[in-house]
Structure 1
Amino acid sequence: MSAAEPPGDGDHQLLVLIDPLARRYDGESVRIAKDVLSAGSHAKICLPDGPDEFARALSRRGARRPVVVGDDHALLRAVSQLHRERELSESTLSLIPVGAAHSLELAHALGVPRGAVAAARTVLDGAVRRLDLLVDDSDGVVLGELRIPAASPPAGPPHTIWDTCRTLVAALVRPAPPSPSGPSRTHRLRVEADGVLLNDLDRPVEGVSVTAQGDGGLADVVIRTTSGETLTAEAKAVTVAGPDFRYRADIQVAGPVRTRTWTVRAGAWGLILPPVDG
């Protein structure tokens, strides 16, 4: 890992963590982001070679405000680490989104500007917004949306050679998808919202989604049944149980599990976003 600390004219003390995938994907955007941040702050630029170096640099940030240059994976990695260290509530993160379009959907949904220049200026001149977080009973975090069953990840370039191998193996062993006229998969899930039973195992569902409202302290729960019903609720805690199921939390697929509870942590983390006019 290499690091440098060019002089800056601003009072910002930043730790700029540049994800290696971002450097390979769009080196020009990375260079622009570095130039803007270095001109307006005292920025320490870190170029970790992988997740371990990324984690070490973040843990040694001191009083510097972390700035992640990368995609949704890099942002989630930073939030997850700070949560595990129990320092998330005291930290404020910034993101400069660099990556393929499908890997930046979460960043843009959260309100991070598109483009290196706009995002870098937001790092310097933006405002902190405290956002809600979904935390599960295994200490995993969800910044945006949780889906059950787990949807297939969007197509895009794999991150490592191991991802390439997994993709090739999956393509060889994956059964052919059902025809459009065939029956859709159903799932038997028991869903409780704040202790209130919304759905039981005797009513099959096509899917369940849980989304933190952003800063409202509640999650939106949507259940789609096989009979065409849509059940909705708001809750601070959601428990799902049933036969082994997988779920997709933001961009990561987890499971199988037989039961899992997600709880909203109001204002659990801070993200620098453009100021809201008015």
Structure 2
Amino acid sequence: MTPMMITLLIVAGVAVLIAIGLLNNTIEANKVARTRLRHELTDRLRRCADISETFPGQLITPELKLLLYRIELHMSQKLLPLDKGNTALKARIPELEALVAQGNEVQVNNPPNPILTEDRAKEVSYQLEVMHHQIIRATQEGVLAPGESRHWVNQIRHLLVLLHIEFFNNLGQQAFQQGEPGHARLAFERGVQYLKKQPEPSVYSEQLRYLEKLLARANDMVMNNIRHHQDDASALTEGLKDLTADEEAQWKKRAIYD
């Protein structure tokens, strides 16, 4: 074997080793990418399903429910090739296909869940934020057309406003029931200010008038309480004056006879 042949064999061997190394790196990179994609899709799917099942019934519509089912179906179909042994996913896909086929006639079974605390309002607000993110991703992946996506982004903003209206109204009504008109006035005032700051406040003119009426009622109750306390204070002051005068007279009388 000539030196040239030996050199060629060495070069070929090195080339094969480099090729094997590159191939292994590519395989590992693909495995990592598939694993990352599987985890991402699993997380997105979980969030979408959670919103679909737990979003307050008073805020969800059949159209919104259908949208969530469509997004969930899309992600399930993408996830299945990456998680072929997932029997729950295999069973869920036909269910989703049947639900999507119902169109806007799909049933909404989410129970009403009144927004009574600030923590609950924040939870639902976060759900709307996640929903917005899901819509943007679905648009990027071709599930939603740009026009449909814009419609749903606007609907998410609308739902956020409705969430605040319900929260401020419930907060004020609770304060009324607890005999705290001052707290009620503060809640209704926050609601009125929030609606007036909207880009198109005329859209919520009816709700604004409603909150303004409640605000006026709460303000009247606060003012009546203030006047009542002032009257009580005046009566008490006059009573103390009379009592003091009587005591002074008695003291002077005793002093004279002593």
| Structure-1-length-normalised TM-score | 0.22
Higher relative contact order (CA 8 A, sep 6+): 1
Compare CA radii of gyration and give the structure with the larger one: 2
Indicate the structure with greater strand content: 1
Indicate the structure with greater helix content: 2
| Structure-2-length-normalised TM-score | 0.23
